[in-house]
Amino acid sequence: MVLIEWDDDFAVGSPALDKDHRDLIADINGLYEQLGSGEHDLTVIDFIDAVHDHAREHFVREEAVMLENDYPEYEDHKAEHERFLERLSELQDEYQDEEGNEDGGMSLWLSHWLINHFRVYDARLQPASEENKQES
């Protein structure tokens, strides 16, 4: 079962950023599947690492678009990205400490955070990222 389905609301109009958003959804769906399949813990840890790395790389690209466009909510938006990465690291540590005891809270938190962030924060980037379209 897929946890998050792509929705056109998740697009910001920049091909590079939209591809990142699709990839992040695929990562989280992959993690959800691994957690539900009873796979070896190491596989789950690899999936969490992938979500962390891809999110960090995406945030760097998105923040660059904001800076290039003098986006007024840059600081707030960047702080949200940082909180996400910190929380994901904590969840990863908790997962390791609890030796793989995960009740589904992690993938649910990830999906809620991502959907909310796309709709509330990233949706406001649309005019800025549209202007950037040619460069991406």
Give 49 or 76: the residue with its C-beta nearer to Fe ion: 76
Which residues contact Fe ion by CB under 5 A?
62, 121-122
Give 92 or 121: the residue with its C-beta nearer to Fe ion: 121
Q: How far apart are CA 24 and CA 106, in angstroms?
A: 15
- Residue 19: CB minimum distance to Fe ion, A: 11
Query: Which residue is nearest to Fe ion, using beta carbons?
Result: 122
- Separation of CA 134 from chain center: 24
Q: How far apart are CA 103 and CA 10, in angstroms?
A: 27
Tell which residue, 10, 40, 14, 24, has the closest CA to residue 107. 24
Give 62 or 95: the residue with its C-beta nearer to Fe ion: 62
Q: How far apart are CA 62 and CA 64, in angstroms?
A: 5
- Residue 78: CB minimum distance to Fe ion, A: 8
Give 107 or 129: the residue with its C-beta nearer to Fe ion: 129
- Residue 10: CB minimum distance to Fe ion, A: 9
- Residue 119: CB minimum distance to Fe ion, A: 11
What is the DSSP secondary structure assignment for residue 104, as one 8-state letter? S
